[in-house]
Amino acid sequence: MKKLMPSLIITGFITGISMLAFAQEGKPEMVEPQSVKVVTNTDSIASYTQFRADAQQKITSNDKDIAALKAKMVKGNAKADSRYHKKIVALESKNDDLRKRIANYNYNENDWPQFKQEFNHDMYELGKAFKGFTSKK
């Protein structure tokens, strides 16, 4: 830490000096940079693009699984059929919610990690609901 402090002070001093220019009267004035390059994190954008494509693929797969569950629904006990149908509707609703969230999300580097974590959690929970649903029926 002690070796780091002098280098930080020197770096700060050099940066400060490079930003100042002295006018003819000897007064310091700020000089605007000629061109500013905006650096974007292309890895994050590429990661987001891949994440979005994967999520849409999973959602489409879920749609097929829901359709298969609907096709397997056998008419029998009205109470059991009602519970089965409600579970299918709940799965469908969660899947549609995920579809809307990924479609409406606009990439923002600041909130991307949190969105990704929450979306993955919700996708995982939906997957667990599918597994629980198929193992019970």
Alpha helices in the chain (DSSP H): 4-19, 42-72, 78-104, 112-136
User: Is the pLDDT at 114 greater than 50, yes or no?
Assistant: yes
Residue-level pLDDT at 29: 52
One-letter identity of residue 87: K
Residue-level pLDDT at 42: 67
Q: Which of 18-22, 29-33, 38-42, 114-118 has the lowest mean pLDDT?
A: 18-22
57-109 per-position pLDDT tens digit: 999 999 999 999 888 877 777 777 788 889 999 999 999 999 999 999 999 98
Domains located in the chain, CATH noted = 42-136 (1.20.5)
Residues 77, 78, 81, 86: is their CA dihedral positive or negative?
negative
pLDDT category at 28 given cuts 50, 70, 90 is low
Residue-level pLDDT at 130: 87
User: Rounded to whole angstroms, how far apart are CA atoms 88 and 81?
Assistant: 10
User: Is the pLDDT at 4 greater than 50, yes or no?
Assistant: no
User: Rounded to whole angstroms, how far apart are CA atoms 83 and 89?
Assistant: 10
* Phi and psi torsions of 32, nearest 5°: -75, 140
Q: Report which of 42, 45, 47 is spatially closest to residue 120, judged by C-alpha positions.
A: 47
8-27 per-position pLDDT tens digit: 455 554 445 444 444 445 55
Residue 28 DSSP SS3: strand
- Could you tell me the pTM of the whole model? 0.64
Structure tokens at 102: 């990924």
